[in-house]
Structure 1
Amino acid sequence: MESTLLSSPRFISTKSRESCGIVRQFQSSFNGKMIANTQFTRRTDSYTNHRISTNITSLFSLGKKKAKAIKRETIVPEPDYRIPVVFLGLAGGLVYGDNLIAAAPVGLLGLLLLFQTTRVRFVFDDEALEVKVGKELEESGENVFVGGKNRWKYSSFINWELWWPNFPILVYFKEAQTKPEGQIHFFPVIFNGKQLYDVMVERAGPSKTSGPR
Structure 2
Amino acid sequence: MASALLSPPRYLLHRPTRGTVPYGHNIHNSLCRTDPWTKIFITRKNASNHGSYAAIASMVGRKAKKKEVVVPDPDYRIPVVLLGIAGGFAYQNNLLPAAPIGLLGLLLLIQTTRVRFVFDEEALEVKTGDQLQESGENVFVGGKNRWKYSTFINWELWWPQFPVLVYFKETQTKPEGQVHFFPVLFNGKQLYDVMLERAGPTVTSAPK
Question: Residues of 2 paired with 1:93 and 1:101: CA distance?
Answer: 12
1:76 equivalent in alignment to 2:71: yes
1:135 equivalent in alignment to 2:125: no
Question: Residues of 1 paired with 2:173 and 2:63: CA distance?
Answer: 26
Q: CA deviation at 1:64?
A: 10
Match of residue 174, structure 1, among 163, 169, 175? 169
Question: Residues of 2 paired with 1:188 and 1:156: CA distance?
Answer: 21
Query: Could you give the per-residue CA deviations for residues 31-53 of structure 1, whole angstroms, max 9, x where no partner exists?
Result: xxxxxxxxxxxxxxxxxxxxxxx
Q: CA deviation at 1:162?
A: 0.3
Match of residue 99, structure 2, among 96, 101, 104? 104
Alignment of 1:1-213 (within 5 A): 69-213=64-208
Q: CA deviation at 1:69?
A: 3.7
Q: CA deviation at 1:63?
A: 9.6
- Specify whether residues 63 and 147 from structure 1 end up closer, same or farther in structure 2 by C-alpha distance, changes over 3 A only: farther
Question: Residues of 1 paired with 2:97 and 2:202: CA distance?
Answer: 35
Amino acid at match of 1:155: S
Query: Structure 2, unaligned stretches of length 5 or more?
Result: 1-56
Question: Residues of 2 paired with 1:129 and 1:63: CA distance?
Answer: 29
> How many residues were matched structurally?
152
Larger radius of gyration: 1
TM-score of the aligned structures, taking structure 1 as reference length: 0.69
SS at match of 1:71: coil
Identical pairs, percent: 76
Which structure carries more helix by proportion?
1
Q: CA deviation at 1:97?
A: 1.5
Q: Which runs of 4+ in 1 moved over 6 A?
A: 62-65
Question: Residues of 2 paired with 1:69 and 1:210: CA distance?
Answer: 32
Amino acid at match of 2:196: V
TM-score of the aligned structures, taking structure 2 as reference length: 0.70
Amino acid at match of 1:114: L
Question: Residues of 1 paired with 2:138 and 2:147: CA distance?
Answer: 11
Query: Could you give the per-residue CA deviations for residues 89-146 of structure 1, whole angstroms, max 9, x where no partner exists?
Result: 0000110111101111100000000000000000000000000001100010000000
Q: CA deviation at 1:181?
A: 0.5
Root mean square deviation, CA, Å: 1.7
Question: Residues of 2 paired with 1:68 and 1:209: CA distance?
Answer: 30
